[in-house]
Structure 1
Amino acid sequence: MSSSTDDVVEVIRLAPDAGLVNSLGANHTLESAIADIVDNSIDAGATRVSVRLMTRDDRLTQVEIMDDGKGMDARAINNAMTIGHQRDYGDGDLGHFGMGLKAASFGHGNVLTVWSTMSGATSVGRRIRKADFSKDFTCEILATAAAIEHESDRDAVLGTTRGTTVVWTEVRNAYRGHDAGEARTWLATRNDVLRAHLGITFHRLIADERLRIDILVDELGAGLGAHGVPVMPIDPFAYAISGHPGYPKDLIAKAGDTQVKLRCHIWPAKSDVTGFRIGAKSGEQFQGFYIFRNDRLLQVGGWSETATPGPARQLARVELEDSGAIGTFLAMNPEKSGLKFEPVFHDAINRAESSDGTTFRTYLQDAETTYATANKRKRYRKPVIRPDKGLAPAVRKQIGIELPYIDGDSVSLKWARMPEGEFFDIDVQRNTLLLNNRYRALFAPDGGSLNDAPVVKALMFLLTHHLFEGHHLGVRDKDEIALWKCILGAAVVAESQMRSK
């Protein structure tokens, strides 16, 4: 059939039906919705954002997001409240669809109010109610006097009258039950999840001090004197040493004239730190692709059908910077909570190679080998006596990760007064490893505590734990103790003399 325009008799404009408002934000979580508002703040040049979760009787009632950005005048705020309006986005902007403010807000509240002040312009306020907006896109223009009052609120929280405040009222999707304890638990959980989400989504900006986000949970009407607690950055690649030699490694995925660098990481096996673990979820749940656009994290893990997730691949994370990939290889969803990989990108990943010939498949195998080797090594380690008092909790936890424990007894580490020239002693009856208090200052110069000198204590535990695991000390055990006492005694005296010079 011909596509000629010869048969066209008229052109009409088909405006969107206002009913589409009812579907806005359906896929937004509370944290992804707030992150979308923060994107707008960053695009407006904000360096500080305050998220305020306001409650009544421990139930979330209102959400406020304040920023110190450039603010908006009447024209700009009208455009911002218009559904589907796409401003002129710069290369560094995080906005994309012109739907973020409305979708994020109506995903969780029935009423959206925006107050804004721009330098040299009259303060403005607008409000849209979902029930009305879904009929005819009605927007209320708010009194200038009320907008000026909200300048002082921003000044109290952020130290500036300029900027924008987004307010969600008639909040939905919050705890509605009658149990006060459940309500507090729900609120505490949402607060923790929100912190983790914002901390990883904006970790580069926060770590570089380009952005500060704080979160406050407070009773509605309690005043503006309280300040929120800053969100800490969570870097998903913050390991000290790679889990596999030669990584991170760059693989180049190509399709036509477009190419994308895949920086492939392998975390150290048995990691249990923030960054590998995110929020309350284990690191196994965060394997896969991490996709950045203008230092904003758009996708937190997931293999997007390029590989199958599994425990053996939990150390594998791939870092991808958007350098033209979005729109060519990747399609972003309106919530910015993940991306769709186009078929051409799947093919490009399968053909991707590093300069030394490593393929994507080889990378996954290297990650699996790292995981398997660590677990195999752990499986054949003999159980040890459990360390108890005197050893730092973090050290005790790591020993428990690396070594199985013998049921029953435990061993403590304790400083005690001993003759000069002795470093340690063994009290088998009390299951205690004694260290000479005379030399405590050498290893805990800032003053002693129960769990001080963790390096020395960990080394002594590794050296002597087997002595506490038998029923009695044999001839060989006693000879070992005598040898260690002689050498370590001479070493600690030498150490003391060197420090005193």
Structure 2
Amino acid sequence: MVTASDDVVERITLAPDAGLVKSLGANHTLESAIADLVDNSIDAGAARVSIRLLTRNDRLSQVEVLDNGKGMDAATINSAMTIGRRRDYAQGDLGHFGMGLKAASFGHCDALTVWSMSDSATPVGRRIRRVDFSKDFTCEVLSSDAATKHTSHREAILGSRKGTSIVWTVIRNAYRGRNQVEARSWLAARNEALRSHLGVTFHRLLAANRLEIDVLVDELGEALTEPGVPILPIDPFGYAVSGHPEYPKDLTAKAGETRVKLTCHIWPAKVDVTGFRIGNKRGEQFQGFYIYRNDRLLQVGGWCDTATPTRARQLARVVLDDTKAIGPFLTMNPEKSGLKFEPAFHDAINRAEAADGTTFSTFLQDAEAVYTEANKRKRRRKPAIKPGKGMAPPVRKRIGSELAFLGGDALDLKWRRMPVGDFLEVDHSSKTLWLNNRYRELFAPDRGSLNDAPVLKALLYLLTHHVFEGQHLGARDKDEIALWKSVLGAAVVTEEQMRGGRGASI
């Protein structure tokens, strides 16, 4: 081991080889790359960010990320375009490595152009081309006239001359085939994935109205100033009621002098809502750790070898929202898409406890128990006739998540004219529950549609479905139907009278 410095004769600086540019951004998806650019906008104090996916013949041709942040002058933009140049990061900044702009961009394009304007400064522009940058780090200085033009373009979209516009051209990772249908499908999938990724990554900032993001997809040159579609927050902990009465619960993980809080959540069983499900992926795929840094989500689920992902653990999610953990416990990758759990953190999680003695293992067992008990109840339910025409698709889907369906015909719920005082009629042979059109306006004031009155129809389905499941109507079934007709007929007449005769003229 070297312990002395008397053998040093000189100190030299070893500059990075420009060839490393070729590998920049290799692990970035389109969604993570654009999120990295949004990070820079947030650090620049932007309240609005507009993302524009511009196409030629439905093929992605150009990507723009525009913000109304503080902008950059000539010296600042030169620093931003320099590879590995780390600025002085404030405590709440999202930047970390000094590589984000270049890595995010060169993972998806061959030409990166940045236009910017700060207070009381001349608009500036810089462009780096991947082929040149990978040889000698060459950067092109663009004219003030061109920068002024792009400042006006940004002002037309965001209402602010001050700010920054990042433009990707010569897109590398996009659909290039000749099939127009495939091209549109690829673009739609990328748009959906981007919206989901931004919605969950920045959900805290979006929900608190500290940030607005919109995404526009249109042909290049056709949507110069059109507004994009706003990104909505996707809260991965946005359940109404916890799945377990004792959760959420805080566990403390300790290693040496460091203490980190782990907030353990258990989602309610059998939910299929945005937040549990993210994008078009099932909630089962999002169990695990959610790690935040300055309200920006760095990791969306995953147990990172601290536990095994299983179907029974799909309700379990853990929040780690402590910047002290990044460094000694967690290592952040340049793409900010997941973290490496250091051995010390694995050990700390295994020893973590809540004030009441709950351990990490106990938490997992509690989540499994909630899931298992809910599925036991589901298995005890008898299969039912599936709802058919007249039932709104979301209600039909939810019934299917609660009940297994019998094969064969479906139960339709339809309206038709009947005598005054009648409300429903069971047509067993055609598997149809008829409702009296005279009273439709009471439950569908806008005169309704095929799938109208979803609450009423759901209640009637739950009440009556069993009588349609036999081969014929028995004496008990007929007695039940007579009871329903009598009570509901009186109820609907009373409802009509209480509303001043509304519906009688239908």
- 1:214 equivalent to 2:214? Answer yes
Deviation readout 1:189-228 (Å, 9 max, x if unpaired): 2121111111111122222222221222222233503332
Give 1:181 shift: 2.5
3-state SS of 2:120 partner: coil
Match of 1:379 in 2: 379
Give 1:474 shift: 1.6
Give 1:407 shift: 1.2
Counterpart contact for 1:260–1:323, Cα < 8 Å: no
**How many angstroms apart in 2 are the aligned matches of 1:77 and 1:388?**
61
- What amino acid does structure 1 have at the position aligned with 2:48? R
3-state SS of 1:406 partner: coil
Deviates more, 1:213-222 or 1:151-160: 213-222
**How many angstroms apart in 1 are the aligned matches of 2:58 and 2:472?**
59
**How many angstroms apart in 1 are the aligned matches of 2:256 and 2:444?**
61
Question: What pairs up with 1:477-496 in 2 under 5 angstroms?
Answer: 477-496=477-496
Counterpart contact for 1:49–1:214, Cα < 8 Å: yes
**How many angstroms apart in 2 are the aligned matches of 1:147 and 1:103?**
23
- 1:142 equivalent to 2:142? Answer yes
**How many angstroms apart in 2 are the aligned matches of 1:2 and 1:179?**
63
**How many angstroms apart in 1 are the aligned matches of 2:413 and 2:391?**
7
Q: TM-score, normalised by structure 2?
A: 0.94
**How many angstroms apart in 1 are the aligned matches of 2:73 and 2:269?**
53
Q: Note closer, same or farther for the CA distance 1:49–1:431 as it changes in structure 2 (3 Å cut).
A: same
Give 1:395 shift: 1.0
**How many angstroms apart in 2 are the aligned matches of 1:353 and 1:455?**
45
- What amino acid does structure 2 have at the position aligned with 1:287? Q
**How many angstroms apart in 2 are the aligned matches of 1:155 and 1:116?**
11
Question: What pairs up with 1:45-64 in 2 under 5 angstroms?
Answer: 45-64=45-64
- 1:463 equivalent to 2:460? Answer no
Give 1:69 shift: 0.8
Q: Note closer, same or farther for the CA distance 1:452–1:58 as it changes in structure 2 (3 Å cut).
A: closer
Q: Note closer, same or farther for the CA distance 1:57–1:414 as it changes in structure 2 (3 Å cut).
A: closer
- 1:181 equivalent to 2:187? Answer no
- What amino acid does structure 1 have at the position aligned with 2:222? A
**How many angstroms apart in 1 are the aligned matches of 2:301 and 2:442?**
45
- What amino acid does structure 2 have at the position aligned with 1:320? L
Match of 1:76 in 2: 76
**How many angstroms apart in 1 are the aligned matches of 2:20 and 2:128?**
15
Give 1:421 shift: 4.4
Q: Note closer, same or farther for the CA distance 1:2–1:387 as it changes in structure 2 (3 Å cut).
A: closer
**How many angstroms apart in 2 are the aligned matches of 1:232 and 1:471?**
49
Deviation readout 1:15-72 (Å, 9 max, x if unpaired): 2222222221111111111110010001111111111122223222221111111100
- What amino acid does structure 2 have at the position aligned with 1:20? L
Identity of aligned residues (%): 72
Give 1:373 shift: 2.2
**How many angstroms apart in 2 are the aligned matches of 1:189 and 1:441?**
40
**How many angstroms apart in 2 are the aligned matches of 1:18 and 1:11?**
22
Match of 2:504 in 1: none
Counterpart contact for 2:73–2:116, Cα < 8 Å: yes
- 1:202 equivalent to 2:202? Answer yes
Q: TM-score, normalised by structure 1?
A: 0.95
Q: Note closer, same or farther for the CA distance 1:500–1:324 as it changes in structure 2 (3 Å cut).
A: farther
**How many angstroms apart in 2 are the aligned matches of 1:60 and 1:448?**
41
**How many angstroms apart in 2 are the aligned matches of 1:468 and 1:359?**
50
**How many angstroms apart in 1 are the aligned matches of 2:234 and 2:491?**
42
Match of 1:233 in 2: 233
- What amino acid does structure 2 have at the position aligned with 1:53? L
Give 1:293 shift: 1.1
Query: Which segments of 5 or more consecutive residues in structure 1 lack a partner in the other structure?
Result: none
Give 1:11 shift: 2.1
Match of 1:331 in 2: 331
Counterpart contact for 2:423–2:435, Cα < 8 Å: yes
Counterpart contact for 1:50–1:228, Cα < 8 Å: yes
**How many angstroms apart in 1 are the aligned matches of 2:150 and 2:430?**
67
Question: What pairs up with 1:284-363 in 2 under 5 angstroms?
Answer: 284-363=284-363
Counterpart contact for 2:123–2:144, Cα < 8 Å: yes
Match of 1:192 in 2: 192
Give 1:446 shift: 4.8
Match of 1:261 in 2: 261
**How many angstroms apart in 2 are the aligned matches of 1:96 and 1:351?**
30
- What amino acid does structure 2 have at the position aligned with 1:413? L
Match of 1:401 in 2: 401
Counterpart contact for 2:392–2:451, Cα < 8 Å: yes
Give 1:439 shift: 4.1
- What amino acid does structure 2 have at the position aligned with 1:106? F
Counterpart contact for 2:261–2:322, Cα < 8 Å: no
3-state SS of 2:410 partner: strand
**How many angstroms apart in 2 are the aligned matches of 1:175 and 1:396?**
36
3-state SS of 2:472 partner: coil
Q: Note closer, same or farther for the CA distance 1:248–1:499 as it changes in structure 2 (3 Å cut).
A: farther
Q: Note closer, same or farther for the CA distance 1:58–1:441 as it changes in structure 2 (3 Å cut).
A: closer
Deviates more, 1:110-119 or 1:466-475: 466-475
- 1:122 equivalent to 2:122? Answer yes
**How many angstroms apart in 1 are the aligned matches of 2:435 and 2:60?**
54
Give 1:356 shift: 2.4
**How many angstroms apart in 2 are the aligned matches of 1:191 and 1:241?**
31
Give 1:315 shift: 1.6
- What amino acid does structure 2 have at the position aligned with 1:71? G
**How many angstroms apart in 2 are the aligned matches of 1:229 and 1:191?**
11
Give 1:330 shift: 1.0
**How many angstroms apart in 2 are the aligned matches of 1:206 and 1:317?**
21
**How many angstroms apart in 1 are the aligned matches of 2:402 and 2:323?**
41
- What amino acid does structure 1 have at the position aligned with 2:103? A
- What amino acid does structure 1 have at the position aligned with 2:128? I
Q: How many residues align?
A: 501
Deviation readout 1:310-360 (Å, 9 max, x if unpaired): 222122111221341111211100000011111111111111122222211
Match of 1:450 in 2: 450
- 1:93 equivalent to 2:101? Answer no
**How many angstroms apart in 1 are the aligned matches of 2:113 and 2:326?**
32
**How many angstroms apart in 1 are the aligned matches of 2:113 and 2:196?**
26
**How many angstroms apart in 2 are the aligned matches of 1:457 and 1:448?**
13
- What amino acid does structure 2 have at the position aligned with 1:424? L
- 1:34 equivalent to 2:34? Answer yes
Match of 1:273 in 2: 273
3-state SS of 1:410 partner: coil
- What amino acid does structure 2 have at the position aligned with 1:125? G
- What amino acid does structure 2 have at the position aligned with 1:477? D
Give 1:2 shift: 4.5
Match of 1:3 in 2: 3
3-state SS of 1:75 partner: helix
Deviates more, 1:254-263 or 1:482-491: 482-491
Counterpart contact for 1:36–1:335, Cα < 8 Å: yes
Deviation readout 1:453-486 (Å, 9 max, x if unpaired): 2222212111111111122222211222233333
**How many angstroms apart in 2 are the aligned matches of 1:427 and 1:433?**
6
Give 1:434 shift: 2.7
Query: Which segments of 5 or more consecutive residues in structure 2 lack a partner in the other structure?
Result: 502-506
**How many angstroms apart in 1 are the aligned matches of 2:478 and 2:178?**
66
- What amino acid does structure 2 have at the position aligned with 1:481? I
Deviates more, 1:1-10 or 1:396-405: 1-10
- What amino acid does structure 2 have at the position aligned with 1:137? F
Counterpart contact for 1:156–1:225, Cα < 8 Å: yes
3-state SS of 1:407 partner: coil
